[in-house]
Amino acid sequence: MTPLLPLLAQEAGKLSWDRMPSPGRIAPELFLCLWAVVILVVDLVRGKGSWKHFTTLSLVGCAIAFALAVFTAPGNDAVGYGVGSGGVGALTPDAISRFFKLIFLATGFLTVLFMRRSADAYAREPELHVILFGALAGACYLAGASELIGFYLAFEMVSYTGFLLAGYRVDDPKSAEAGGKFVMFGAVSSAVMLFGLSLVYGATGSMQFADIAKALASQDASPALLVASVFVFAGFAFKAAAFPMQFWCPDVYEGAPAPVAMFLAVASKAAVFSAAIRVLMLGPVTDTAPTLTQLLPHGATVTQTILIFASAATMCWGNFAALRQTNLQRMLAYSSIAHAGYLLMTAAVVVPGAQSGRDAVSAMLFSFVIYLVMSAAAFYVVTVMRRDAGTAEVGALRGFAAKHPLFAACFALVLFSLTGLPPTAGFIAKLQLFQPVVGEGHFVLAAIGLLNGAVSLYFYAKPIGLMYLASEGPPERTPAPNGTDRTILAVLSAPLLVLGLLWWDSILEFAQTAVAAGRNP
């Protein structure tokens, strides 16, 4: 188990085809696009009426894409239509991007599975799968983007599919409202970001990340670049639901179907961070490359200060606003904001070029894996709640543990893991995220983050209290998980306990190797 994963992360691992032609190196992306077409065609051929095998088709698609991502050798030279010299192109599928692809595809698999289990009425189900595959392809592309146009296209692909997914249930006014809000704010923030990118292009005369970085290194900071970096940050902050661009998130996550909310919370967020790692903090991945953080007049410190304040505000806002929530799905939205805050905190303190920078990036990669498992499990409970009880209000869980001990125990474990308590995997993820922050001497920021963890216990413990401690009788409609539900939740939550004690070092090592092998900008 241990040696396999790091081996995969190495450039040209033994399991890969040697010297693949260029298109072969983006096999997962190509396959995702192809599979979207396959689903469309099958739908056309079949005509009207529901067919449950669309789920199977999509699950198989995700699994194949996952396998392709595993077996495609990452490399640091680009593929695609780029005009740059020396093999620089639009897309660079390196080890870091592969790590993210695996996360996206696993999330996609679980989303499809949850949609099946949710029994929400999805009109025209195949279309939903097509959109989902589009989102996955966009996310995979984004993780490897190494050029502005490709980056922006992928970014928008993830955004627009997100709008469609969130608002897909047109019969449900809340879902429609969620989609509408998402489009409004999303379009504005994209425009702002695009404007920022155009300023970058204007100042540097290049689309390639690598060339931009070089050009920035030889340039003095200018007001235009200051504006540019703020605008680009705003675009990222919107998608990552970071303060001060987080306001849309609770409404959208609450209104969207639970599996879609899970997809947005994990895959979309991971996609944004995968790009942000390149653009906002290229430095830590390579030793020599200058970064966008150098855009500002006083070097990196001003950007760092902005990021530090944004991260502190994000986690405080997420955790404190969550305290008053009674809707579990909405609470998880705030929880995802808080987690974005923790990630941003680690990103903020990174010193470009230092070993601690690499550690920080691998810590972020590692915690995304854990966050994926935790979120999936938590949103699955919401899926079951909305299916059986017709509501995501926590009150529906009152006295739940007496009737469904296993399901309740698993959910409690997930919530403790989200809080970051040992011996769960959530603790390990937190430990990794805080380590660079403390190491760089940001004691106040670390203290704020850690105390936020204590605050978050209050709302994470609320469902646990209702399930186990509540003295009144159960409400009329409670979730009634069956055998399959129990199995799914148990399979998702068991790793949280096991990884809290054993084997997590192999995943962390996988992340570390990926970062070490990752490309220059």
Q: What size, in residues, is the chain? A: 521
The partner residues of 145 in beta bridges, in order of sequence, read 91
| Residue 475 engages another protein in binding (rule: CB under 8 A) | no
Q: Work out which of 20, 30, 187, 457 binds another protein, going by CB under 8 A.
A: 457
In the complex, minimum distance from the CB of residue 364 to another protein, in angstroms, rounded to a whole number: 15
Give whichever of 267 and 496 is closer to another protein, judged by the CB atom: 496
Separation between Cα atoms, residue 439 and residue 350, nearest integer Å: 10
Q: Work out which of 84, 458, 474, 497 binds another protein, going by CB under 8 A.
A: 458
Separation between Cα atoms, residue 136 and residue 497, nearest integer Å: 29
| Residue 446 engages another protein in binding (rule: CB under 8 A) | yes
Q: Where in 490-509 is the site for another protein (CB under 8 A)?
A: 501, 504-506, 508-509
Give whichever of 7 and 451 is closer to another protein, judged by the CB atom: 451
> What are the backbone angles phi and psi of residue 315, rounded to the nearest 5°?
-70, -35
| Residue 7 engages another protein in binding (rule: CB under 8 A) | no
Report angle CA 127, 132, 138 to the nearest 5 degrees: 130
CB atoms within 10 A of CB 499: 24
Give whichever of 115 and 499 is closer to another protein, judged by the CB atom: 499
| Residue 443 engages another protein in binding (rule: CB under 8 A) | yes
In the complex, minimum distance from the CB of residue 430 to another protein, in angstroms, rounded to a whole number: 9
Q: What is the DSSP letter of 520?
A: P
Buried b (16+ CB within 10 A) or exposed e, 377-397: bbbbbbbbbbbbbebbbbbbb
CB atoms within 10 A of CB 10: 16
The stretch among 121-129, 179-187, 294-302, 458-466 that binds another protein (CB under 8 A) is: 458-466
Separation between Cα atoms, residue 281 and residue 292, nearest integer Å: 7
| Residue 4 engages another protein in binding (rule: CB under 8 A) | no
Q: What is the CA radius of gyration of the chain?
A: 22
For another protein, what does the binding mask look like between residues 323 and 362, x meaning CB under 8 A? ------------------------------------x---
| Residue 407 engages another protein in binding (rule: CB under 8 A) | no
In the complex, minimum distance from the CB of residue 515 to another protein, in angstroms, rounded to a whole number: 10
| Residue 450 engages another protein in binding (rule: CB under 8 A) | yes
| Residue 453 engages another protein in binding (rule: CB under 8 A) | yes
* Token output for 391: 């509501």
Give whichever of 426 and 521 is closer to another protein, judged by the CB atom: 426
The partner residues of 318 in beta bridges, in order of sequence, read none
Q: 327 by DSSP, 3-state: which?
A: strand
Give whichever of 84 and 422 is closer to another protein, judged by the CB atom: 422
CB atoms within 10 A of CB 60: 14
The stretch among 156-164, 252-260, 379-387, 447-455 that binds another protein (CB under 8 A) is: 447-455
Q: Are the CB atoms for 466 and 398 separated by under 8 Å? A: yes
The stretch among 297-305, 382-390, 461-469, 482-490 that binds another protein (CB under 8 A) is: 461-469
Q: Work out which of 37, 41, 191, 447 binds another protein, going by CB under 8 A.
A: 447
Give whichever of 184 and 447 is closer to another protein, judged by the CB atom: 447
Q: Work out which of 184, 323, 454, 491 binds another protein, going by CB under 8 A.
A: 454
* Token output for 493: 């939550």
Q: Work out which of 141, 190, 416, 495 binds another protein, going by CB under 8 A.
A: 416
Give whichever of 233 and 411 is closer to another protein, judged by the CB atom: 411
Q: Is 218 exposed, middle or buried (0-12, 13-18, 19+ CB in 10 A)?
A: exposed
Give whichever of 137 and 370 is closer to another protein, judged by the CB atom: 370
The footprint of another protein on this chain (CB under 8 A) covers a number of residues equal to 33
Q: Where in 92-131 is the site for another protein (CB under 8 A)?
A: none
In the complex, minimum distance from the CB of residue 84 to another protein, in angstroms, rounded to a whole number: 34
Q: Quick one: which of 59, 239, 50 has its CA closest to 132?
A: 59
| Residue 431 engages another protein in binding (rule: CB under 8 A) | yes
Phi-psi region of 475 (alpha: psi -120 to 50; beta: other; left: phi over 0): beta
Q: Quick one: which of 240, 381, 222, 387 has its CA closest to 314?
A: 240
**Measured CA distances, 24 to 77, 97, 212 (Å):** 13, 15, 27
In the complex, minimum distance from the CB of residue 506 to another protein, in angstroms, rounded to a whole number: 8
Percentages helix, strand, coil for the chain (3-state, rounded to 5) are: 75, 0, 25
The residue behind tokens 């007049």 is 297
Q: What is the DSSP letter of 109?
A: H
Q: Where in 57-76 is the site for another protein (CB under 8 A)?
A: none
| Residue 320 engages another protein in binding (rule: CB under 8 A) | no
In the complex, minimum distance from the CB of residue 448 to another protein, in angstroms, rounded to a whole number: 10
Residues that bind another protein (CB under 8 A): 359, 416, 421-423, 427, 431, 434-435, 438-439, 443, 446-447, 450-451, 453-454, 457-458, 461, 465, 468-471, 501, 504-506, 508-509, 512
